[in-house]
Amino acid sequence: MTHACRLDPDEEFIRAGWCQVEVVHGDRPRFAVWAVQSDLFEYGAADSHHYSLPVTMPKPTVPTYAAEMLARSEIRFLPVGGRRVAYEVRGSGPPLVAPAWWVSHLELDWQDADFRRFWEGIADGYTLIRYDRLGVGMSDRTLHDSDLTLDSEVAVLRALIDELGLERVSLIGGSSGSCTAVAFAAAFPERVQRIVLYGSYADGTVLTPPGVGDAILAAIQAHWGLGARLLGDIFLGGATADEQERFGRLQRESATANTAAAVLALVYRLDVRDQLPLVRSPTLVVHRREDRAVPYRLGREVAAAIPGATFIPLTGSAHFPWHGDADAVVRACREMLAPGQAPPQQVGDDEQVLSVREREILACIARGLNDREIAEQLVLSPHTVHRHVANIRRKLGRTSRTAAVAEAARLGLL
């Protein structure tokens, strides 16, 4: 049997999957690739070539553990505007809903061991509900402009919760999914029990420096393979070459280049700043300090704007929570979600424990003022200023005023 497809003959990372495909150029094998599930596939290369493929289609095999995980998951389809949104229900216990973020694939996600460990840890004792957004993964791949709005994201989440007959749920929103969680909680406070936000932001327009977001979108549309690799560098922070390759492959199999660019453009324009003060559910905001996709300060701002929210900073640079020190994320989330328990305490190692007065003094130190000058400006005694400066150094973990200012600048406190 012969099938046509489009491939970039110079692409390095179209390897690994389920079905062996041998690409023939003339009488000679040109190179071998591996495809997943489909006879006809495309990697979105801007400068592509046409080949005929004699295809050998052995029975697909899935790693045993992943197959067991899939067997424990119930994948269903929700009608939305004449199309279908794929969602999964797994486990038992109080409902925990994860709004869609970036691109996903309900089947292929579970083949990643880190992904499995993370969600097993988070959702143990809960009914976990995840879904592929429209245009992505197992959902209908047709994407309309009207789908690419915050209102549409909230409408799909609400339709899913209604479909399952759930009166109240807890939400765990990561990245752009945090915007959906916030908007839903603000609109329907009576339906949200608790909220966990990870790697969150309120204003997508400040996620990247001017021009950088447009350059990333252009790279995705020009060459999805290279675009996926670029996003892997941003999202995974410190991942191995194998992890990068697997993540790039998952992205390409979850969405086309045009869909990925459209979804990322939505990520860059989401804005929930007005909704943050309307959230009434107990909320935990978790953010890694060196997150390369969503700057740390944006998570702090989210926590500061939600009444009574708890903020827990973590070390690490990976934006995806199942990479890096995933156990720390799991511990924080489970402490928040545990029925009947109070929200976790703030981690007292940064701005969360700096008082308003201490931050005023910190700003004066940054301007080069000494204790006497600060005392005169703020109408305090020099002894009081000296005590505040000592507390600032202790809380920021620095032994000198200069080092404290540098650390404060790194944390975005100045």
Spatial CA neighbour of 172 closest among 312, 284, 327, 92: 284
pLDDT for the residue numbered 6:
39
Residue 144 is predicted with a pLDDT of 94
Q: CA-CA distance, 57 to 98, in Å (whole number)?
A: 35
Per-residue pLDDT of the chain (414 residues; tens, 9 = 90+): 333 333 333 333 333 333 333 333 333 333 333 333 333 333 333 333 333 333 333 333 444 444 454 446 689 999 998 999 999 999 999 999 999 999 999 999 999 999 999 999 999 999 999 999 999 999 999 999 999 999 999 999 999 999 999 999 999 999 999 999 999 999 999 999 999 999 999 999 999 988 999 999 999 999 999 999 999 999 987 778 888 899 999 999 999 999 999 999 999 999 999 999 999 999 999 999 999 999 999 999 999 999 999 999 999 999 999 998 999 999 999 989 876 655 555 544 444 456 778 888 998 998 899 999 999 998 888 888 988 898 888 777 778 888 888 877 777 777
The strand order across the sheet containing 283-288 reads 73-80, 83-91, 127-131, 95-98, 169-174, 192-198, 283-288, 310-314
Could you give the CA distance from residue 231 to residue 168 in angstroms, rounded to a whole number?
35
What is residue 57's predicted lDDT score, i.e. its pLDDT? 35
Angle in degrees, CA 216, 221, 223, rounded to 5: 95
Structure tokens at 315: 């070390």
pLDDT at residue 344, rounded to an integer: 59
Any idea where the domains of the chain sit in the sequence?
2-54, 64-337, 351-410
Instruction: Look at residue 39 in the predicted model and tell me its pLDDT.
Output: 31
- Distances in whole angstroms, Cα of residue 369 to Cα of each of 75, 287, 389, 399, 402: 62, 32, 12, 18, 12
Confidence (pTM): 0.69
Strands 192-198 and 283-288 come out as parallel
Torsion angle of C-alpha atoms 197, 123, 188, 205, degrees rounded to 10 = 30
What is the CATH number that goes with domain 64-337?
A: 3.40.50.1820
Q: Where are the beta strands (DSSP E) in 259-397?
A: 283-288, 310-314
Residue 110 is predicted with a pLDDT of: 93
Looking at residue 250, what is its pLDDT?
A: 93
**Cα–Cα dist 215/205, whole Å:** 14
**DSSP assignment, residue 342?**
P
**What is residue 299's three-state secondary structure?**
helix
Residues 6+ apart with CB under 8 A from 220: 227, 228, 230, 231, 257, 260, 261, 264
Q: Is the dihedral of CA 251, 252, 254, 255 positive or negative?
A: positive
Rounded distance, CA 175 to CA 101, Å? 7
Q: Phi-psi category of 70—alpha, beta or left, where left has phi over 0 and alpha has psi -120 to 50?
A: alpha
Closest CA to 235 of 323, 136, 318, 173: 318
pLDDT at 108: 94
The pLDDT of residue 72 is 61
CATH topology (fold) of 351-410: Arc Repressor Mutant, subunit A (1.10.10)
pLDDT at 391: 82
What's the burial of 120, exposed, middle or buried (CB within 10 Å: 0-12/13-18/19+)?
A: middle
Q: Which residue has the tokens 């809380």?
A: 395
Q: From CA 7, how far away is CA 30, in angstroms rounded? A: 12
The pLDDT of residue 73 is 67
CA distance 213 to 261: 10
Smallest Cα–Cα separation from 395: which of 358, 356, 350?
350
Task: Quote the pLDDT of residue 413.
Answer: 73
pLDDT at 343: 56
